Amino acid sequence: MKKLSLLILLALNLSSCVVVREYEKVKLNDPDMALSDKKIKRFELNAQAYREAAAGANGGKTGGGCGCN
């Protein structure tokens, strides 16, 4: 837990080093650069959640449903 706290603090600290202004975000605003998934990705995540033990930390759901088919 202490390591995680340090990691978050370090990440916050690093964030202060770089400031990309709004007018400099042309490349970052490209739809393919989005940190979220495309909407159709839900089907892929759903299939993986059913067939795999691991879930979470990917924008998919972390509970609900039996996943038994």
Partner 1 sequence: MKKFIIVSLLLSGLTTMAQDSTSTYKKRVLETAEVDFLMSYYTQDGSNAAVSGGIGTEELTDITPTLVVSIPLNDDDVLTIDFGISAYTSASSSNVNPFDAGGPADPFVASSGASSGDVWGNLTGSYSHSSDDRNDIWSLKVSVSTEYDYFSVGVGGSYSKLFNEKNTELSISANVYIDSWSLIYPIEFRGSSGGDDEDDFNINNYTITGNPNYNPGFVPLDGKGRNSYSVGFGFSQILSERMQGSLALDLVKQEGQLSTPFQRVYFSDVADSFIENFHLGDDIERLPDTRFKVAIGGRLNYYINEIFVLRTYYRYYFDDWGINSHTASIEIPVKLSDKFTVYPTYRYYSQTAADYFAPYNQHLSTSQFYTSDYDLSNYAANQYGLGITYTDIFTKFRIWKLGLKSIDLKFDQYERDSGLMYSLISGGFYFVLD
Site residues (vs partner 1, CB under 8 A): 4, 6, 8-16, 18-22, 24-28, 30-35, 38-44, 47-48, 50-59, 61-69
What is the per-residue DSSP string for 32-50?
GG-SSPPTTHHHHHHHHHH
Q: Which residue has the tokens 């879930």?
A: 55
| Distance from C-alpha of 7 to C-alpha of 30, rounded to nearest angstrom | 29
- For the CB of residue 34, give the shortest distance to partner 1 in the complex, in Å: 8
- For the CB of residue 37, give the shortest distance to partner 1 in the complex, in Å: 9
- For the CB of residue 15, give the shortest distance to partner 1 in the complex, in Å: 4
